[in-house]
Structure 1
Amino acid sequence: MSLVQINLDGQVTSDFKRISIPDRLEKSKKEADMDRRELAEQLKTIQAPADSYAIGEINDEALCLVEENGGWSVFYSERGLRTEEQRFSDENSACRAFLQRLKHVLGIR
Protein backbone atom coordinates (compact mmCIF):
# COMPACT_ATOMS: atom_id res chain seq x y z
CA MET A 1 0.00 0.00 0.00
CA SER A 2 1.29 3.46 -0.70
CA LEU A 3 0.15 6.68 0.81
CA VAL A 4 0.33 9.78 -1.33
CA GLN A 5 0.15 13.27 0.03
CA ILE A 6 -0.05 16.45 -2.01
CA ASN A 7 1.27 19.57 -0.32
CA LEU A 8 -0.36 22.97 -0.72
CA ASP A 9 2.43 23.99 -3.09
CA GLY A 10 1.57 21.07 -5.42
CA GLN A 11 4.46 18.77 -4.47
CA VAL A 12 3.66 15.08 -4.21
CA THR A 13 5.23 13.00 -1.48
CA SER A 14 4.66 9.34 -0.83
CA ASP A 15 5.29 6.84 1.88
CA PHE A 16 5.56 3.29 0.54
CA LYS A 17 4.81 0.34 2.75
CA ARG A 18 5.08 -3.32 1.84
CA ILE A 19 2.09 -5.49 2.40
CA SER A 20 1.68 -9.18 1.82
CA ILE A 21 -1.06 -10.43 -0.43
CA PRO A 22 -3.06 -13.25 1.12
CA ASP A 23 -2.54 -16.63 -0.56
CA ARG A 24 -6.13 -16.77 -1.78
CA LEU A 25 -5.74 -13.48 -3.64
CA GLU A 26 -2.41 -14.56 -5.08
CA LYS A 27 -3.95 -17.81 -6.30
CA SER A 28 -6.81 -15.96 -7.97
CA LYS A 29 -4.24 -14.19 -10.14
CA LYS A 30 -2.89 -17.52 -11.30
CA GLU A 31 -4.82 -20.05 -13.32
CA ALA A 32 -7.33 -22.04 -11.31
CA ASP A 33 -6.58 -25.69 -10.62
CA MET A 34 -7.79 -28.08 -13.30
CA ASP A 35 -9.38 -31.43 -12.56
CA ARG A 36 -10.77 -34.10 -14.90
CA ARG A 37 -14.17 -32.39 -15.04
CA GLU A 38 -12.64 -29.06 -16.06
CA LEU A 39 -10.37 -30.86 -18.53
CA ALA A 40 -13.40 -32.52 -20.17
CA GLU A 41 -15.04 -29.10 -20.52
CA GLN A 42 -11.90 -27.67 -22.12
CA LEU A 43 -11.76 -30.59 -24.56
CA LYS A 44 -15.36 -29.91 -25.62
CA THR A 45 -14.56 -26.22 -26.03
CA ILE A 46 -11.66 -26.92 -28.40
CA GLN A 47 -13.72 -29.62 -30.14
CA ALA A 48 -11.09 -32.30 -29.68
CA PRO A 49 -12.17 -35.54 -31.42
CA ALA A 50 -13.41 -37.93 -28.75
CA ASP A 51 -11.48 -40.84 -30.25
CA SER A 52 -8.15 -38.99 -29.89
CA TYR A 53 -8.05 -39.19 -26.09
CA ALA A 54 -9.12 -41.21 -23.05
CA ILE A 55 -9.58 -39.95 -19.50
CA GLY A 56 -9.58 -42.47 -16.67
CA GLU A 57 -9.05 -45.43 -19.00
CA ILE A 58 -6.61 -46.72 -21.58
CA ASN A 59 -7.70 -46.79 -25.21
CA ASP A 60 -5.49 -47.75 -28.13
CA GLU A 61 -4.46 -45.04 -30.56
CA ALA A 62 -5.29 -42.33 -27.99
CA LEU A 63 -3.65 -39.92 -25.59
CA CYS A 64 -4.50 -41.24 -22.13
CA LEU A 65 -4.78 -39.72 -18.66
CA VAL A 66 -5.03 -42.24 -15.83
CA GLU A 67 -4.69 -42.17 -12.06
CA GLU A 68 -2.52 -45.00 -10.82
CA ASN A 69 -0.08 -45.87 -8.05
CA GLY A 70 -0.82 -42.68 -6.11
CA GLY A 71 -0.08 -40.42 -9.07
CA TRP A 72 -1.16 -39.51 -12.57
CA SER A 73 0.13 -40.70 -15.94
CA VAL A 74 -0.18 -39.10 -19.35
CA PHE A 75 0.89 -41.19 -22.35
CA TYR A 76 0.01 -42.24 -25.87
CA SER A 77 -1.30 -45.78 -26.07
CA GLU A 78 -0.70 -47.87 -29.16
CA ARG A 79 -1.10 -51.65 -29.34
CA GLY A 80 -0.94 -51.88 -25.57
CA LEU A 81 2.33 -49.96 -25.34
CA ARG A 82 2.77 -46.62 -23.59
CA THR A 83 4.89 -44.06 -25.39
CA GLU A 84 6.22 -40.76 -24.10
CA GLU A 85 4.80 -41.41 -20.65
CA GLN A 86 4.85 -38.56 -18.15
CA ARG A 87 4.18 -39.00 -14.41
CA PHE A 88 2.65 -36.35 -12.13
CA SER A 89 2.02 -36.22 -8.41
CA ASP A 90 -1.13 -34.11 -8.70
CA GLU A 91 -4.22 -34.02 -10.89
CA ASN A 92 -3.87 -30.34 -11.82
CA SER A 93 -0.40 -30.76 -13.34
CA ALA A 94 -1.42 -33.93 -15.18
CA CYS A 95 -4.56 -32.33 -16.64
CA ARG A 96 -2.67 -29.24 -17.78
CA ALA A 97 0.06 -31.33 -19.41
CA PHE A 98 -2.55 -33.55 -21.06
CA LEU A 99 -4.42 -30.57 -22.52
CA GLN A 100 -1.22 -28.92 -23.75
CA ARG A 101 -0.01 -32.13 -25.35
CA LEU A 102 -3.33 -32.89 -27.04
CA LYS A 103 -3.55 -29.36 -28.41
CA HIS A 104 -0.03 -29.74 -29.80
CA VAL A 105 -0.88 -33.07 -31.46
CA LEU A 106 -4.06 -31.64 -32.96
CA GLY A 107 -2.35 -28.41 -34.05
CA ILE A 108 -4.54 -26.23 -31.81
CA ARG A 109 -3.10 -23.13 -30.17
Structure 2
Amino acid sequence: MDRKEFIKKVRKLRVPNFLFNLDGVVRDDERFCLVKVGEKWNVYYSERGCKTTNEFFDTESDALNYIIKRFSE
Protein backbone atom coordinates (compact mmCIF):
# COMPACT_ATOMS: atom_id res chain seq x y z
CA MET A 1 0.00 0.00 0.00
CA ASP A 2 1.27 3.46 -0.79
CA ARG A 3 0.28 6.74 0.87
CA LYS A 4 -2.33 7.51 -1.78
CA GLU A 5 -4.09 4.20 -1.13
CA PHE A 6 -3.77 4.78 2.61
CA ILE A 7 -5.54 8.14 2.35
CA LYS A 8 -8.36 6.56 0.33
CA LYS A 9 -8.81 3.84 2.95
CA VAL A 10 -8.82 6.18 5.95
CA ARG A 11 -11.37 8.39 4.19
CA LYS A 12 -13.52 5.34 3.52
CA LEU A 13 -13.25 4.44 7.22
CA ARG A 14 -14.06 8.09 8.07
CA VAL A 15 -10.91 8.54 10.13
CA PRO A 16 -10.26 12.24 10.81
CA ASN A 17 -6.92 13.57 9.54
CA PHE A 18 -5.89 14.67 13.03
CA LEU A 19 -5.65 11.02 14.14
CA PHE A 20 -2.59 10.25 12.02
CA ASN A 21 0.66 11.89 10.96
CA LEU A 22 2.67 10.64 7.99
CA ASP A 23 5.08 13.56 7.63
CA GLY A 24 7.80 12.08 9.84
CA VAL A 25 7.74 14.95 12.32
CA VAL A 26 7.63 13.79 15.93
CA ARG A 27 4.68 15.39 17.71
CA ASP A 28 3.19 15.26 21.18
CA ASP A 29 -0.49 15.24 20.19
CA GLU A 30 -2.57 12.08 20.35
CA ARG A 31 -2.32 10.31 16.99
CA PHE A 32 -0.66 7.50 15.07
CA CYS A 33 2.68 8.62 13.66
CA LEU A 34 4.87 7.18 10.91
CA VAL A 35 8.58 7.95 11.02
CA LYS A 36 11.47 6.43 9.05
CA VAL A 37 14.26 5.39 11.41
CA GLY A 38 17.33 4.25 9.50
CA GLU A 39 16.09 1.50 7.18
CA LYS A 40 12.95 0.75 9.23
CA TRP A 41 9.52 2.38 9.46
CA ASN A 42 8.37 3.17 12.98
CA VAL A 43 4.66 3.41 13.79
CA TYR A 44 3.72 4.66 17.20
CA TYR A 45 0.76 6.17 18.94
CA SER A 46 1.66 9.36 20.68
CA GLU A 47 -0.36 10.05 23.80
CA ARG A 48 0.58 13.01 25.97
CA GLY A 49 4.13 12.82 24.67
CA CYS A 50 4.51 9.07 25.37
CA LYS A 51 4.65 6.28 22.82
CA THR A 52 1.94 3.82 23.78
CA THR A 53 2.36 1.71 20.63
CA ASN A 54 5.82 1.37 19.15
CA GLU A 55 6.17 -1.02 16.20
CA PHE A 56 8.89 -1.29 13.53
CA PHE A 57 8.38 -2.51 9.96
CA ASP A 58 10.69 -3.28 7.04
CA THR A 59 8.52 -1.45 4.49
CA GLU A 60 6.37 1.65 4.47
CA SER A 61 3.56 -0.46 3.02
CA ASP A 62 3.61 -2.82 6.02
CA ALA A 63 3.58 0.16 8.38
CA LEU A 64 0.62 1.78 6.61
CA ASN A 65 -1.28 -1.53 6.62
CA TYR A 66 -0.70 -1.77 10.37
CA ILE A 67 -2.19 1.69 10.93
CA ILE A 68 -5.23 0.82 8.78
CA LYS A 69 -5.68 -2.38 10.76
CA ARG A 70 -5.64 -0.42 14.02
CA PHE A 71 -8.26 2.02 12.69
CA SER A 72 -10.42 -0.91 11.58
CA GLU A 73 -10.51 -2.54 15.03
Report the TM-score range of the alignment, normalised by the length of the smaller protein.
0.7 to 0.9
Alignment of 1:67 onto 2:36: yes
- 3-state SS, counterpart of residue 83 of structure 1: strand
Following TM superposition, the consecutive aligned residue runs of length 4 or more in structure 1 with deviations greater than 2 angstroms are: 56-59
CA distance in 2, matches of 1:67, 1:102: 21
Match of 1:81 among 31, 37, 50: 50
CA distance in 1, matches of 2:55, 2:33: 11
Larger Rg: 1
- TM-score, structure 1 as length reference: 0.58
- TM-score, structure 2 as length reference: 0.81
Deviation at 1:58, TM superposition (A): 3.4
CA deviation map 1:55-92 (0-9, x unaligned):
12334111112222211111110222211201001111
Structure 1: 5+ residue stretches without partners: 1-33, 105-109
Aligned length: 71
CA distance in 1, matches of 2:13, 2:70: 13
Q: Which amino acid aligns with 1:45?
A: K
Q: Which amino acid aligns with 1:99?
A: I
CA distance in 1, matches of 2:58, 2:72: 22
CA distance in 2, matches of 1:81, 1:92: 24
Is the deviation greater in 55-64 or in 86-95?
55-64
